[in-house]
Amino acid sequence: MKESVDLDAIFDRFHAPKKPIFKERDFLRATYVPTSLPHRGNEIRGLANILGPIMAGGTPSNAFLYGKPGGGKTVVTKYVINRLHKKAGDVDIKFEFAFINCQMVDTAYRVYAALCEAVNVEVPITGLSTDLIFDSFCKKLDEEPTVLTIILDEVDLLMKTDNKVNSKKMTLLK
């Protein structure tokens, strides 16, 4: 007697290799930075010109990128910073960057702790004053012959959640 349902066919559908829905899942990640950014040449050039003095051992100007959500500010910044990091490494310039998303790191304490982490200074999750953490960060920067560029993504959110931030310190971090 023949089965009325072909169970082997059903099970084989699950076992057989399927063609994936996505060619590359990483393209959908928020952290993905493509190898090229069409239609962002002016923005890339502008930011590269601001950060370019790093390649001559100089200090770049501060940059404040603003625009509508989804306009490409974050990806342009990551694109330029990644390329600059590689180029600086190719010519033995000590250049590092700290990319901090203020949507995730949402208090001054956490920002300072993240900056300390970027320069290999250990700080506890809580318990120290922000002044002490910031001083530890500055002391470490003074010891190292490295150019550190700090990117505070979504910094407006930090300013909304932590009104007690010392404006002098935030000026240094821009």
Mean pLDDT of 23-32: 88
Instruction: Using alpha carbons only, give the angle 133, 65, 55 rounded to the nearest 5 degrees.
Output: 75
Domain architecture of the chain: domains with CATH? 7-173 (3.40.50.300)
SS3 129: coil
Residue 60 and residue 62: Cα distance in Å, rounded? 7
Closest C-alpha to 136, from 163, 109, 158, 171: 109
Give 37: exposed, middle or buried? Use CB within 10 Å, 0-12, 13-18, 19+. Answer: middle
Residue 163 confidence (pLDDT) above 60: no
> What pLDDT is attached to residue 126?
83
Dmax (CA) of the chain: 85
Q: What is the pLDDT of residues 28-42, one digit of tens each?
A: 888 899 999 999 999
What is the reported pLDDT for 160? 72
- How far apart, in Å, are the Cα atoms of 9 and each of 14, 21, 79, 81? 9, 22, 48, 52
Q: What is the mean pLDDT of the chain?
A: 87
| Whether pLDDT at 149 is above 50 | yes
Q: How far apart are the first and last CA of the chain?
A: 78
User: pLDDT tens, 76-125?
Assistant: 999 999 999 999 999 999 999 999 999 999 888 999 999 999 999 999 88
**How many Cα atoms are found within 13 Å in the side-chain-facing hemisphere of 90?**
7
